[in-house]
Structure 1
Amino acid sequence: MVERARRGSAASRVFVVVAVAVMALVLLLSGLLVLDAQRAARAEAEEVTHAVSSALAVTPAVVGALDGSAPADLQPFAESVMADASVDFVTIMTPDGIRVTHREREEIGRPYLGTIPARPVAATEEFTGTLGPSIRTITPVIAADGDLVGWVSVGLTVGSIASDIVPRLPGVLAIASAVLAAGFVGAYLAQRTTRQVAGDLPAGTIRDAVSSYESVRTLGEALRAQTHEHGNRMHTAVSLLELGRTREAIEILTETSRQSQALVDQVAARRDGDPTVGALLLGKAAQARERGVEWTADIAADAPRSSLSPVDAVSVVGNLIDNALDAAAAGSAPRWVRVRFTSAGERMLRIDVSDSGDGVPPDLADRVFEHGFSTKPAEAAGRGVGLSLVRSIVEGAGGSVDHASDPTVFTVVLPGRDR
């Protein structure tokens, strides 16, 4: 039983997530290192072929043989260069591309397979010839009088270049192994730290604990504001009675009862209303008046009760209202907050919370539901938790949450509770 709890605990999930992320990073890093090794090997091949072909193009034996001033069989010379320079082929040819030398002797006298530049300049390319795909550099051979007397092409096959990468792979493997080991150590430390904080509690239980805390916090603030407001009105009424101003005292008490009763009637009119959310709205109404914000709450009679538990329902609605009150109070007059509960059809509940605040900047609109993100000051309590928790609860219940601007409106759609 304990072992099953450990496997499903938040600490174990942290370990798995970090480990998977590290493995993905290692795979990406290994791929990049291999690609870099291939790029480096290709660059080296281009440098080698260019250097060897350039050197051969000015070698007196090659120039003399092609110029005809010192006729010679260049095949043995080309073969010795291939062996000494570790290149796959050295092809020396006439100005019109007829081979004088070739790795395969039977190809001598046949046309060169590759691009011969229109002007006597060196050029490097990848081309598929008799030896397969290769990186090759062709360089003009210029006689003493400045005439073009031939060409020298030096190349390395793609297979040879690929084989040059193999010696680099142990280094790539060592780097990848080191990163992987460091990542697993980090995953273990993250698991251990999480277990010290949360024990073996499942992730869902931790979220529920956060939701419970948020529910108690927002409901407590709402009830405190309501108690404070009622206390002020009662003290005022008592003072008026002591002064003999009975009519004014009755008006104050009647107005207090009327404002609360209007919302109570909306909650009571629903067949399956949520009394916890109703109590929250009563408290938030007092909190809005306390902060100088005009408050409107409208609950349609046919609005179904959501499938959320009372704790999660208070957490969702409370956080949305708290954000709206903060935004409205910080904005310019008129300051208002409106809350609407309506039916979205097919036993779906829609909750709209709108406010007169400045809204979310367009460049930050996609980040408002990220954990830890907030437009509030850095020292604000609970910074960046509320909307992230709202999304987690709503999506976990099979609902959706979205927001719009002008005015700012946060909309939650939730499945209704089965009767």
Structure 2
Amino acid sequence: MLVQLATAAAVVAVCVLVFVLLGVQQLRAEAETSALNIARTIAVDPQVRAAVAEISADPGTPRRADLTGGPLQELATDVTARTGTLFVVITDDHGIRLAHPDPALLGQPVSTDFRDVLAGNEVITWQQGTLGVSARAKVPIWPPGADGARPPGASPVGEVSVGFEPSSVFDDLPALLGGVAAAAGAGVLLAAIAGIVLRRRWERLTLGLQPEELVALVQNQAAVLDGVGDGVVALDHRGVVRLCNDAARRMLQLGDPTGMSLERLGIAPAILAAAREGTASAGVVVGDRVLYADAQPVRHGGRDLGTVLIIRDRTDVAALSERLDTVRAMTGALRVQRHEFANRLHVAVAMLDADRPAEAREFLGEQLHRGPVDYPVESIDRIGDSLLHALIGAHALEAGERGVRISVDPDSLLLAPLIDVEDVAAVLGNLVDNAVQAAVEGHEPRHVQIGCFSDGHDLVLTVADSGAGVRADIDLFVRSGRTAVDIDRVHGLGVGLPLSRELARRGGGDVWLISPGGTSAHTGAVFGARLRGVLGDARVDDSPDPGSAPRGIADRRDPTP
């Protein structure tokens, strides 16, 4: 406020100075103009011209006694009295005073230069004379001529000099200065009032923070917002975005949201509900990210300042959870496999103890051919990797409890081992779980068919179900901006499929919907997945073994989990 007042006072002072200078200059110009007009009036007077021409024609110097009561002296005295001038002086062509306020100086040369005037020029100046400093105008007196005009080739016969003293020139200056001072005071007063009003408004807007505190606040805010991985969105009390850091823009896929409401930005309804209610939202899929939103109301000094929305990216956590669920299922399947394998060993040992080695040999040979566990999955022998074999078997056991039969596509053939089990388990597990859910909600018979194919080092998967298919207006891989009513809960809650696609795309693959199903033939949906670089080199024994699965598959069935 002090800086503002000082600035206003400085501006007013400059304006006052300029105005005073202009006023003084105008008063000087008015005085000079008045003196010039009076001098011209006297100079063109026919009697003055005739009298001065007559005196100038006399080679001698006029006597003071003759001039004291002469017509020129009386005219000058009368003009001085009527116009308020300091002096009216009339001279001949040699600068001899013919009229002067001081009669004692009549007949003497003037104290100022008169040559320029006698050369035919009008002179306006401020000079020091016998009567002091004055604004004076000097006009030449021409010989008598037609209409008082200058005769051709004639020279001035004298001059008229009219002057005003400074005191009379600046008589109006005090009033001018008073008016300027009053205007300046009013301007400073208005600046002070405006400064007080603005100061109070700024204090209300900045919550009483001073400039130094605001600078520190901005620095701390920038450090916090740029130093955390969470997204931060600050809303005012009307729900308009006032601040959004880069992390929030990236997560919510926003451009420049400042100054816009969340509704206009197309934010997911779950996040909008959290912002309005000041609560936390469940996992929301935006693009290929799984986000959690936590809204906290902000109050200061009893005032509602708005809401701060914290956006956290939980994509990696959700992906890890998917993988852990798959690993848990595999662990259960391997536990069952180990238990079943132990039971078979007990059977073989019992046969040997009963001295029945031939039957024991036949039993072990049959187990070697059948594999470690008899999973209720048709054509599962087409899959040579033990972990994938166990994963499908584990899902088949769980699906069987829900009345869904899982089978492997008879055209499947996978001889190469997996070298990246986690992503394969997460993607396949999610697709199978969604297919089982769709089959449960579908019509009889309830089944899910899995296809496993190798394409070099790429694994290609297909998962088909017997459900009712996918609605044409639903994109299962994008859930941003849709309400809970629009979610196809038959094929999941809208989280697993986007995560599966992201896991596949991270390695250069993809997950897509091959067929939405739901046709007149009552076919369900078919999903496809390509996982790049997850297979090793296939190991196949070319020796034929009629009536049995390829040796490469049998070799992969190591009884040890």
Larger Rg belongs to: 2
Report the TM-score, using the length of structure 2 for normalisation: 0.37
Greater helix proportion: 1
